[in-house]
Structure 1
Amino acid sequence: MHVTSEQRLDDGVLEREFTLGGIPGILWTPERASAPAPLILIGHPPLGLRRMHPRLAGRARYYAAEYGFAAATIELPGSGDRPRWAAAEQARADLRRALEAGEPVRGEIVDALVLPLVARAVPEWRTALDALLALPGIGGPVGYEGGVISIGIRLAVVEPRIVAAGFFAGSLVPAAMFEEARRVTIPLQVLLQWDDEGNDRQAALDLFDAFGSKEKTLHANLGGHTGVPHFELDAGARFFARHLK
């Protein structure tokens, strides 16, 4: 891991940008901690870290300043400044065409868009986790939050160091991921915007039902994709505080 920039923010949080094997990432840590900090991995849609930075940083800084968590994220394959990926570009174009035409998004489009992304991204997240847990001041346990939800599902299945997850419903989910969801057993909190124009509500509810976790909670709020109530930030933090401390 190579740190490329570092700044101390006014809320006592240290923000470090880094690269790991050519993959950009960002790490936020509480400036003063009496013990190694638990870590939250923050997932995000493939829109690029620069575009997503304000939203990601807002959550990460809150977790660090108010709860003493470290938080980190990495750029997804084919996003931001990473090399373009022809198959992913084609899948995104097919999705746009279907949405603009008002047509149902076929399963093969969803599979082509999501499954290769999961296959590439999950090993990168695990490599990043190795590097992050080797840093002084970070000791685990580890949580995961955000989207793409299929990436979170795969990580929850294959990565034993992740002990709790907060998923954001809303991304297209291949049918194969429903079977993987049945193998998820860690505590879950799932956030669903009831009127999300880009989300199949029933599919999101079916996915929640499929999760194999004995402890799973659904937070459903009225409003569209960007209308998540501010209080859900603290609800997510308190969920992680129960399981990471």
Structure 2
Amino acid sequence: MHITSERLLDDGVVERDLTLGGTTGLLWTAGAAPAPLILVGHPGGLRTMYPRVAGRARYYAREHGFHAAALELPGAGDRPPRPGADEARADLRRALEAREPVDEIVDRLVLPLVDEAVPEARAALDELLALPEMEGRVGCDGGVLAIGLRLALVDPRVRAAVLFAGSFVPRQVVEECRRLTVPVQLLLQWDDEWNDRQAALDVFDAIGSAEKTLHANLGGHTGVPAYELAQAGDFFVRHLR
């Protein structure tokens, strides 16, 4: 891991640009005291998503003393495109408009991303958690739902997850999440124009965790109420402190 730049933000949070293996990332810290790490997810294009990602990360650091990090996804930002991804996205749009089954297309589009992104995230956690200010426990926050579900299942350092039901989940990952045990808080926008409500409810039903909570709010994909960030912070305090 290499820190390529560092800056002190006006709320006292330190923001660093990182390179980790073949990807880039950002790290926010609220001080030198050991604290858990929140891995803040996004759908790809970290620079494009920066305002939303940084807002969540800085909140967790400023209000709760957590550290936070975000990683660029395979095929996004300045990284090489994933083979076949553009074609699969076009096929998915066509099938949705025609109201045709999409399971095979979702598998083709999302599974390769999950298979690549989760090992990258675990390798990045190896390096991030070696920093002296890291306490060792990790929370997953947002991003591509299938990635968060898989990471929470396979990495024992992840102790809690706040996930967004705003992306399609392959059938294989739905079956995998029956073995989940960490506490999960799932956000669902009831009128999400980019997602299938029943599919999201099916994912929530399949999650095997003894503690799982569904927060459903009226509104479209980008209409998550601001107060949900405070709810997520309280959730991570309960399970990571």
Q: Greater CA deviation, 185-194 or 81-90? A: 81-90
- Quote the residue 1:11 is aligned against: 11
How many angstroms apart in 2 are the aligned matches of 1:36 and 1:208? 33
- Quote the residue 2:187 is aligned against: 191
Q: Deviations over 1:156-210 (max 9, x none)?
A: 1110010100110020111111110101110010000111111111111111011
Aligned mate of 2:169, from 152, 156, 173:
173
Whether the aligned pair in 2 keeps the contact of 1:147 and 1:169 (CA below 8 Å) is no
- Quote the residue 2:158 is aligned against: 162
Q: How far off is 1:153 after superposition?
A: 1.0
Equivalent residue letter for 1:16:
R
Equivalent residue letter for 1:221:
N
Aligned mate of 2:40, from 34, 42, 48:
42
How many angstroms apart in 2 are the aligned matches of 1:104 and 1:139? 47
Q: How far off is 1:109 after superposition?
A: 0.7
Q: Deviations over 1:84-121 (max 9, x none)?
A: 1222222122223334x443352111001100000000
Matched, 1:200 2:196: yes
Where structure 2 has 5 or more consecutive residues not aligned to the other structure, the ranges are: none
How many angstroms apart in 1 are the aligned matches of 2:21 and 2:132? 20
Aligned mate of 2:125, from 118, 129, 138:
129
Q: Identity of counterpart residues, as a percentage?
A: 67
Equivalent residue letter for 2:49:
M
Whether the aligned pair in 2 keeps the contact of 1:140 and 1:244 (CA below 8 Å) is no
Superposed, 1:49-60 pairs within 5 Å as 49-60=46-57
Whether the aligned pair in 2 keeps the contact of 1:95 and 1:105 (CA below 8 Å) is no
Aligned length: 241
How many angstroms apart in 1 are the aligned matches of 2:136 and 2:57? 16
Give the secondary-structure state (helix, strand or coil) at the position aligned to 1:142: strand
How many angstroms apart in 2 are the aligned matches of 1:6 and 1:44? 22
Equivalent residue letter for 2:88:
A
TM-score, normalised to structure 1's length? 0.95
Q: Please provide the CA RMSD for this pair.
A: 1.1
